[in-house]
C-alpha cells in the first residue's frame, strides 16, 4: 500500500489538503477592504476556478491586487496602485525581501499555492499589523496549518496540464493532525515552456520551472502552550522574462521560522505569539541564452533577513487590543560583472546593491473599540527605528562620488497612525478611515547603483540622503449585503509628501548601451493617488453567481502629470454556476484605453481590451478516494492583448485549455 | 564569597592585560635600521665609487620604463660601514644616441620624509633604450663645492607594454610638452587622487616644469558606450610639490581611458579635444585598468 501511494505520488503528485480554518470574520469584510481570499485546496476544490493555479493567478482574482508582469512567472503585486517599495509582503508575519535588483523575484514567488491557507490583503496604512515601511497596503501570506485536532491523516495527489506552454504541474503532500502534534509536508513541481499569446504567436523566453518543498509542524507543550515551525525551500530555475533583457538561471529561497504560542493566559491576555525567523534568497540572472546581447553580464543578488516578532492579543471591556514588537535585520547585496567584447580588457565589476544593511525595530499598538453593536472604532499606531547603510567599503566609495557628504550609515524614525470607524445599520456597513504614515526609502531608492529599467530605458541611481516619504490617507466604504445580492463601493485617497520617484539627471552618463539617460531618485514635493472600486454580487436561480467589478484610479505627481503604472478604468463580470459536483463559469475582463499614461516613464497608450474565460468542472467520486477533475478554457477568443501593467507591453497568454486532477486518499 | 572570587579574577585579568600591553609597546620603540627603510623597494643597482656605494632602488621589479619613474637612493660609506644621513645628492640623466644626446625631465634629489638614510627623486624618460642607444645617469655626492663621490651607470628603459601613463606632444605654441601620470598606481572604484607632472623642452638638455596650466580629465569606458563618471576635478598646479593634482572618479573596475586637454595659463588649449559627437577620445589620454 505504501508503495502504491508512493508510486501514485510520483506519477501524479499530491497536494496538501487544508484543514479548514475559520474565516467567518473575514467573510463579513469580503465586500469591503480587508479582502481575505481563502482556498480550500482539497475538499471543495470544485468551487475553485482553477485549483492548481499559481499564487500569481490567485492574486489576479483579487480586486484589490494588480500584478505587473514581466513574463509568465513571478508577477509583482500592486495594491492601491503601489508596488513593492510602498507595500509590505510578509509570510505569516515574517519579513522577507526580494534579492533581485530588477524585481524579477517578488517574494510572493517563493511560496507555492499549496503552502498557503489564504492571503490577507490589507489596504492602506492600516493594512497589516506586521508591515513596516508600507503606505499602500500589505499582503500577508498565511501558511497552511493542519492544526491541533482529532487524529487525522490526509494525503492528496495533484497533477495538472495546460496546453498553452505545455505546462505541467505535479505535486505531493501530506497533512497530519492530532491533539498533540500536526504537520503539513509537501513537494510541488511546475514546468512550462514558452507560452503563446493570442493568434498563436510564441512569446520567447517565457518558460519557467519551479520546485517547492515545504513543511509546517506544531507541537503542543500543554493545553495553552505550543510551538510551531516552518521550513520552505523553493527553487525556480531557467525562468524567462520576455519583457526584460535577461532571464534567471536560478532563484533559491529558504524560509524558516520557529514560534512559541501561549493561549488563554489570563482574563485580559488571551493570545501571545513570539516568532523567530530567518530567510535567505539567492538570485542569479542569466543572459547567456539571449541572441545578440551587446555585453555578457553576471548579476547575482542575495537577500537575507533575520527577525522576530512578539504579539500579544488581549481584551479589556470593549477594547480588543494588540501589542506587538518586531525587529528585523536585512542584508541585500547585488553585484554586476560585465565582460567587454574585447576579451583582452579586464571584466568590469560594480555593486548594484552595495551590501545594504537595514535594521528595523518597531512597536505596534492596535485597539479595536466596540462602542456598541452598531459602532466600532479602531486605532492603530506603529513607531519604528531604522538604521540603514552600506556595509561594503567598495560600495560606499562608489556612492560617495555622487554624494560626497553621505554617511555610511544613517538612522531614521518612522511612524504611522490610523483610525477607522465602522457603522453597521442592518444590512448596511459604512466605514471611514484616516491615517498618516511614513516610509524609509527602499534599498534601491537609497543605495541602488545603475539599475537599468527596461521599461523607461533609464538607469537608476539611489540617493542615500532622501527624506522619508509620507502620506495622508482618507478612505471611505459602503456595503449593502442581502442574502441574494450585495453591493459595495469604496474609495481611498493618498496625498503624499516627499513622494520618491526617479527623475532624469542630464549630468550623469549612461552605462547600458543604448540607454536614454540616468535617473536619480528624488523626493517630489507631493503626489496623489486615488482609487475607487464598485463590486456587486447577485445570486439567482439558486446556483448562479453573478459578480461585477469596476475600478478607477488616478495618480498624479506634483505637476499633475500622470504617475507611471496606474491602472486605467477596468471592469470584470463573471457568471458562475455551482451545483454540487458540477461547476461552470464564464467571465469577462477588460479595461478601457489608458488615457492617463505617463509618457515621461515611457508608458504608451495601452489600448482597450477584453478577454473571456470559461471553465467547467466535475467532481468524480469513487468510495472514500475522491478524484476531482477540473477542465477549463482561458482566453477562449484567443485575443492578443496586453494591459497597462505588462512590462514593455508583452502580450499575455492566448487560449489555454487546462485540466486539473486531484485525488484525496 | 563568590563575588569576591569573581572580582579577583577580573583584577588579575586587568593586571595581566596591562603587562601584556606595556611589553608590546616596548617592542615597538626599537630603532629603525637602514634596511628597514628600504623594505618594500626593489634594488635596481649598486655602484661603487671610492669608499662609497650608491644603492639604487625602485618600487617595482623590472626595468625602468618610458614615463614616470620614482628612484630611491641610499649612500653607504664603506669605510665606516654607515649610511650617509646628510648627503647632498644630484644626478643627470643623458640619452646617448648615435648622432646626438639629450636629457629628459627629472627632479632634484631630496630626503624621504621620516627616514634617515633614504633619498628620492624621479625621471620621466621620454624614449626607450635599445642595443645602441642607452640612458646613462651620473650621480654626484657633494659637500659644498667639493665632490665627494660620483658614479655613473647605464639603464635599460623599456617602452610600456601595458596601459598608457605618459604622453609627449607638441602644443599649439610649438613647444614640446611631456605629461606623465604619477598616481593612481593602484586605482580603486570611487574617488582617486590623480597627479601628474608636466614639463616642456627648452633645449636638448633642459626640460623645465610647466606651471599654472590646467589638465582637464574626462575618464571614459570605451567598453561601456563611453560611460563616464561624475564630479571629476581637473588637475591644477600645486606649487609646493610641482605636481598637477586633481580628483578622478571611477564608477567600476575595468579599462578606463582618460581623455586629456592641456590648457596653458591663459586658458588656451595647447593640446586635446573634448568628447562630443563623433569624437570618442582626445588625441592625448591616459589609460588605467584594474
Q: Are residues B194 and B258 in the same domain?
A: yes
Q: Are residues B73 and B144 in the same domain?
A: yes
Best CA proximity match to A251, nearest among A67, A102, A84, A57: A102
Contact B259/B217 with Cβ under 8 angstroms?
A: yes
Residue A252 in grid coordinates: 533559491
d(CA A115, CA A233): 11
Write out chain B residues lying below 8 Å of A511, CB-based. 221, 224-225, 227, 251
Has residue B266 been placed in a domain? yes
Write out chain A residues lying below 8 Å of B289, CB-based. 345-346
Q: What is the number of structural domains in chain B?
A: 2
Q: Which residue has the higher pLDDT, A585 or A26?
A: A585
- Mean per-residue pLDDT for A639-663? 87
- Most A-contacting residue of B162, B187, B190 (CB-CB within 10 A), to test interface: B190
- The answer to whether residue A506 neighbours chain B at the CB level (below 8 Å) is no
DSSP A25-77: HHHHHTTSSSEEEE---STTGGGSS-TT--HHHHHHT-TTEEEEBSSSS-PEE
Half-sphere exposure of A184 (CA within 13 A, CB side): 26
pLDDT tens per residue, range B78-123: 999 999 888 889 999 999 998 899 999 999 999 999 899 999 999 9
Q: How far lies A604's CA from each of A556, A598, A600, A607, B23, in Å?
A: 16, 7, 10, 9, 74
Q: Are residues B188 and B285 in the same domain?
A: yes
Q: What is the pLDDT of residue A636?
A: 82
Interchain pair A348, B290: CB under 8 A: no
Has residue B140 been placed in a domain? yes
Interchain pair A398, B189: CB under 8 A: yes
Among chain B residues, CA nearest to A399: B190
Has residue B252 been placed in a domain? yes
Average pLDDT, chain A: 87
B37 phi and psi angles, rounded to 5 deg: -75, -15
* CATH number for A158: 2.40.170.20
Q: What is the number of structural domains in chain A?
A: 1
3 state DSSP class of A6:
helix
Has residue B4 been placed in a domain? no
pLDDT tens per residue, range A51-73: 778 888 888 878 788 899 999 89
Q: What is the pLDDT of residue A429?
A: 94
pLDDT tens per residue, range A339-393: 998 889 999 999 999 999 999 999 999 999 999 989 999 999 999 999 999 999 9
- Mean per-residue pLDDT for A426-432? 94
Residue A75 in grid coordinates: 508577477
When pLDDT is cut at 50, 70 and 90, the band that residue A532 belongs to is: very high
Best CA proximity match to A590, nearest among A654, A546, A538, A644: A644
Q: Which of A29-43, A49-63, A595-609, B116-130 has the lowest mean pLDDT?
A: A29-43
Q: Are residues B89 and B71 in the same domain?
A: yes
Element (DSSP H or E) covering residue A366: strand A348-370
Has residue B15 been placed in a domain? no
Residue A156 in grid coordinates: 492528496
Question: From the CA of B47, how many Å to the nearest CA of chain A?
Answer: 40
d(CA A458, CA A453): 6
Secondary structure of chain B in the HEC alphabet? CHHHHHHHHHHHHHHHHHHHHHHHHHHHCCCCCHHHHCCCCEEEEEEEECCEEEEEEECCCCCEECEEEEEEEEEEECCCCEECCCCEEEEEEEEECCCCEECCCECCCEECCCCCCCEEEEEEECCCCCCCCEEEEEEEEEECCEEEEEEEEEECEECCCCCCCEEEEECCCCCEEEEEEEECCCCCCEEEEEEEEEEEEEECCEEEECCCCEEEEEEEEHHHCCEECCCCEEEEECCCCCCEEEEEEECCCCEEEEEEEEECCCCCEEECCCCCCCCCCCCCEEEEEC
Best CA proximity match to A626, nearest among A189, A172, A154: A154
Interchain pair A511, B225: CB under 8 A: yes
Q: pTM here?
A: 0.86
Q: How far lies A351's CA from each of A355, A448, A662, B247, B251, in Å?
A: 8, 9, 47, 21, 10
Question: From the CA of A214, how many Å to the nearest CA of chain B?
Answer: 40
When pLDDT is cut at 50, 70 and 90, the band that residue A9 belongs to is: very low
Is the CA virtual torsion A513, A517, A522, A528 positive or negative? Answer: negative
Interchain pair B225, A349: CB under 8 A: no
Interchain pair B190, A398: CB under 8 A: yes
Interchain pair B225, A450: CB under 8 A: no
Interchain pair A341, B249: CB under 8 A: no
* CATH number for B107: 2.60.40.10
Of the partner residues B224, B230, B253, the one whose CB lies closest to the CB of residue A401: B230
When pLDDT is cut at 50, 70 and 90, the band that residue A12 belongs to is: very low
Question: From the CA of A350, how many Å to the nearest CA of chain B?
Answer: 5
Best CA proximity match to A241, nearest among A452, A65, A96, A58: A452
Interchain pair A510, B190: CB under 8 A: no
- The answer to whether residue A623 neighbours chain B at the CB level (below 8 Å) is no
Contact A521/A513 with Cβ under 8 angstroms?
A: no
Q: Are residues B63 and B154 in the same domain?
A: yes
Q: What is the pLDDT of residue A481?
A: 93
Q: Are residues B251 and B227 in the same domain?
A: yes
The residue range of the domain holding A595 is: 2-664
When pLDDT is cut at 50, 70 and 90, the band that residue A663 belongs to is: confident
Write out chain A residues lying below 8 Å of B224, CB-based. 295, 338, 348, 511, 513
Q: Are residues B126 and B204 in the same domain?
A: no
Residues on chain B bordering chain A, Cβ-to-Cβ distance under 8 angstroms: 188-191, 221, 223-231, 249, 251-255, 289-290
- The answer to whether residue A511 neighbours chain B at the CB level (below 8 Å) is yes
- Reply yes or no on whether the pLDDT at A229 is more than 70: yes
- Reply yes or no on whether the pLDDT at A40 is more than 50: no
Using 70 as the pLDDT threshold, list the residues of chain B that sit under it: 1-30
Q: What is the pLDDT of residue A614?
A: 78
Interchain pair B229, A509: CB under 8 A: yes
Is the CA virtual torsion A354, A469, A605, A195 positive or negative? Answer: positive
- Mean per-residue pLDDT for A145-168? 92
Question: From the CA of A27, how many Å to the nearest CA of chain B?
Answer: 54
When pLDDT is cut at 50, 70 and 90, the band that residue A639 belongs to is: confident
- Work out the burial of residue A430: count CB atoms within 10 Å of its CB; fewer than 13 is exposed, 13-18 middle, 19 or more buried: middle
Of the partner residues B190, B249, B289, the one whose CB lies closest to the CB of residue A345: B289
The residue range of the domain holding B209 is: 166-289
Spatial strand order of the sheet with A94-95 comes to: A35-38, A116-123, A137-143, A87-91, A94-95
Interchain pair A346, B249: CB under 8 A: no
Write out chain A residues lying below 8 Å of B228, CB-based. 509
Question: From the CA of B193, how many Å to the nearest CA of chain A?
Answer: 12
Q: Are residues B207 and B270 in the same domain?
A: yes
Of the partner residues A346, A348, A397, the one whose CB lies closest to the CB of residue B224: A348
Q: What is the pLDDT of residue A491?
A: 95
Of the partner residues B225, B251, B255, the one whose CB lies closest to the CB of residue A346: B255
Has residue B239 been placed in a domain? yes
Most confident of A45-54, A617-626, B275-284: B275-284
What size, in residues, is chain B?
A: 290
Has residue B28 been placed in a domain? no
Q: What is the pLDDT of residue A626?
A: 65
Q: How far lies A87's CA from each of A55, A81, A653, in Å?
A: 17, 10, 27
Q: What is the pLDDT of residue B16?
A: 52
Question: How many residue pairs from chains A and B have C-beta atoms closer than 8 A?
Answer: 80
- Most B-contacting residue of A348, A506, A516, A518 (CB-CB within 10 A), to test interface: A348
Has residue B16 been placed in a domain? no
Amino acid at each position: 500500500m505504501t508503495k502504491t501511494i508512493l508510486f501514485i505520488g510520483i506519477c501524479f503528485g499530491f497536494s496538501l489538503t487544508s484543514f479548514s480554518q475559520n474565516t467567518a470574520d473575514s467573510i463579513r469584510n469580503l465586500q469591503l477592504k480587508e479582502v481575505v481570499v481563502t482556498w480550500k485546496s482539497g475538499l471543495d476544490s470544485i468551487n475553485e476556478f482553477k485549483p492548481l493555479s499559481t499564487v500569481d493567478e490567485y492574486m489576479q482574482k483579487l480586486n484589490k491586487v494588480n500584478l505587473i508582469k514581466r513574463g509568465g512567472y513571478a508577477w509583482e503585486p500592486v495594491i492601491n496602485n503601489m508596488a513593492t517599495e510602498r507595500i509590505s509582503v510578509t509570510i505569516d508575519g515574517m519579513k522577507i525581501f526580494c534579492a533581485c535588483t530588477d524585481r524579477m523575484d517578488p517574494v510572493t514567488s517563493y511560496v507555492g499555492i499549496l503552502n498557503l491557507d489564504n492571503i490577507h490583503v490589507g489596504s492602506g496604512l492600516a493594512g497589516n499589523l506586521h508591515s513596516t515601511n508600507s503606505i499602500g497596503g500589505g499582503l500577508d501570506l498565511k501558511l497552511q496549518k493542519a492544526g491541533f485536532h482529532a487524529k487525522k491523516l490526509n494525503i492528496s495527489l495533484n497533477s495538472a496540464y495546460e496546453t498553452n506552454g505545455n505546462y505541467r504541474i505535479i505535486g505531493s503532500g501530506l497533512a497530519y493532525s492530532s491533539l498533540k502534534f500536526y504537520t503539513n509536508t509537501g513537494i510541488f513541481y511546475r514546468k512550462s515552456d514558452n507560452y503563446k499569446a493570442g493568434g498563436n504567436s510564441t512569446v520567447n523566453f517565457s518558460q519557467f520551472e519551479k520546485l517547492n518543498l515545504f513543511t509546517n509542524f506544531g507541537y503542543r507543550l500543554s493545553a495553552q502552550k505550543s510551538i510551531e515551525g516552518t521550513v520552505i525551500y523553493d527553487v525556480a530555475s531557467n525562468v524567462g522574462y520576455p519583457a526584460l533583457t535577461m532571464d534567471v538561471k536560478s532563484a533559491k529561497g529558504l524560509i524558516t521560522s520557529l514560534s512559541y504560542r501561549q493561549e488563554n493566559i489570563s482574563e485580559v491576555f488571551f493570545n501571545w505569539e513570539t516568532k523567530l525567523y530567518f530567510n535567505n534568497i539567492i538570485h542569479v540572472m542569466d543572459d547567456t541564452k539571449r541572441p545578440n546581447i551587446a555585453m555578457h553580464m553576471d548579476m547575482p543578488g542575495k537577500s537575507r533577513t533575520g527577525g522576530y516578532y512578539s504579539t500579544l492579543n488581549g481584551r479589556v471591556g470593549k477594547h480588543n487590543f494588540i501589542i506587538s514588537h518586531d525587529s528585523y535585520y536585512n542584508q541585500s547585496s547585488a553585484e554586476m560583472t560585465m565582460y567587454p567584447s574585447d576579451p583582452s580588457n579586464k571584466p568590469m565589476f560594480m555593486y548594484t546593491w552595495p551590501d545594504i544593511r537595514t535594521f528595523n525595530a518597531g512597536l505596534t499598538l492596535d485597539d479595536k473599540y466596540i462602542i456598541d453593536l452598531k459602532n466600532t472604532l479602531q486605532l492603530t499606531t506603529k513607531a519604528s527605528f531604522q538604521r540603514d547603510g552600506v556595509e561594503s567599503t567598495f560600495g560606499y566609495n562608489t556612492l560617495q562620488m555622487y554624494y560626497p557628504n553621505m554617511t555610511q550609515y544613517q538612522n531614521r524614525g518612522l511612524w504611522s497612525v490610523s483610525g477607522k470607524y465602522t457603522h453597521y445599520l442592518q444590512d448596511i456597513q459604512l466605514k471611514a478611515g484616516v491615517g498618516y504614515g511614513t516610509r524609509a526609502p527602499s534599498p534601491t531608492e537609497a543605495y541602488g547603483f545603475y539599475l537599468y529599467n527596461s521599461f523607461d530605458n533609464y538607469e537608476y541611481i539611489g540617493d542615500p540622503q532622501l527624506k522619508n516619504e509620507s502620506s495622508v490617507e482618507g478612505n471611505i466604504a459602503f456595503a449593502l449585503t442581502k442574502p441574494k445580492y450585495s453591493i459595495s463601493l469604496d474609495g481611498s485617497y493618498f496625498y503624499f509628501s516627499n513622494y520618491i520617484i526617479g527623475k532624469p539627471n542630464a549630468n550623469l552618463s549612461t552605462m547600458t548601451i543604448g540607454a536614454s539617460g540616468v535617473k536619480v531618485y528624488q523626493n517630489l514635493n507631493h503626489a496623489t493617488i486615488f482609487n475607487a472600486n464598485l463590486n456587486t454580487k447577485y445570486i439567482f436561480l439558486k446556483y448562479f453567481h453573478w459578480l461585477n467589478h469596476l475600478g478607477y484610479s488616478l495618480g498624479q505627481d506634483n505637476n499633475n502629470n500622470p504617475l507611471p503604472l496606474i491602472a486605467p478604468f477596468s471592469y470584470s463580470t463573471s457568471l458562475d454556476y455551482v451545483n454540487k459536483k458540477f461547476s461552470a463559469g464564464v467571465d469577462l475582463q477588460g479595461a478601457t484605453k489608458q488615457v492617463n499614461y505617463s509618457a515621461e516613464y515611457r508608458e504608451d497608450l495601452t489600448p482597450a481590451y477584453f478577454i473571456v474565460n470559461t471553465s467547467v468542472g466535475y467532481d468524480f467520486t469513487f468510495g472514500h478516494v475522491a478524484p476531482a477533475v477540473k477542465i477549463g478554457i482561458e482566453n477562449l477568443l484567443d485575443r492578443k492583448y496586453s494591459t497597462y501593467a505588462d512590462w514593455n507591453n508583452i502580450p499575455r497568454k492566448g487560449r489555454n485549455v487546462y485540466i486539473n486532477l486531484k485525488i484525496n486518499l | 564569597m563568590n563575588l569576591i572570587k569573581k572580582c579577583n579574577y577580573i583584577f588579575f585579568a586587568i593586571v595581566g592585560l596591562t603587562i601584556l600591553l606595556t611589553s608590546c609597546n616596548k617592542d615597538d620603540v626599537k630603532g629603525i635600521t637602514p634596511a628597514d627603510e628600504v623594505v618594500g623597494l626593489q634594488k635596481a643597482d649598486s655602484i661603487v665609487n671610492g669608499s662609497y656605494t650608491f644603492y639604487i632602488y625602485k618600487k617595482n621589479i623590472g626595468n625602468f620604463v618610458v614615463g614616470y619613474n620614482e628612484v630611491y637612493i641610499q649612500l653607504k660609506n664603506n669605510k665606516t660601514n654607515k649610511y650617509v644621513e646628510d648627503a647632498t645628492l644630484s644626478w643627470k640623466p643623458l640619452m646617448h644616441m648615435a648622432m646626438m644626446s639629450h636629457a629628459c625631465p627629472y627632479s632634484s634629489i631630496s630626503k624621504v620624509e621620516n627616514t634617515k638614510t633614504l633619498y628620492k627623486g624621479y625621471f620621466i624618460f621620454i624614449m626607450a633604450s635599445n642595443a645602441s642607444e642607452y640612458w646613462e645617469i651620473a650621480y654626484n655626492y657633494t659637500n659644498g663645492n667639493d665632490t665627494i663621490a660620483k658614479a655613473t651607470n647605464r639603464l635599460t628603459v623599456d617602452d610600456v607594454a601595458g596601459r598608457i601613463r605618459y604622453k609627449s606632444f607638441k602644443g599649439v605654441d610649438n613647444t614640446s610638452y611631456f605629461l606623465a601620470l604619477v598616481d593612481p598606481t593602484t586605482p580603486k572604484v570611487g574617488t582617486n587622487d590623480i597627479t601628474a607632472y608636466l614639463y616642456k623642452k627648452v633645449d636638448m638638455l633642459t626640460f623645465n616644469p610647466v606651471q599654472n596650466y590646467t589638465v582637464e580629465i574626462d575618464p571614459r569606458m570605451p567598453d561601456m558606450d563611453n560611460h563616464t563618471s561624475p564630479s571629476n576635478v581637473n588637475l591644477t598646479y600645486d606649487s609646493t610639490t610641482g605636481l598637477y593634482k586633481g580628483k578622478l572618479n571611477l564608477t567600476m573596475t575595468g579599462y578606463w581611458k582618460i581623455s586629456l586637454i592641456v590648457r596653458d595659463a591663459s586658458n588656451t588649449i595647447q593640446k586635446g579635444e573634448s568628447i562630443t559627437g563623433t569624437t570618442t577620445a582626445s588625441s592625448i589620454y591616459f589609460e588605467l585598468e584594474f
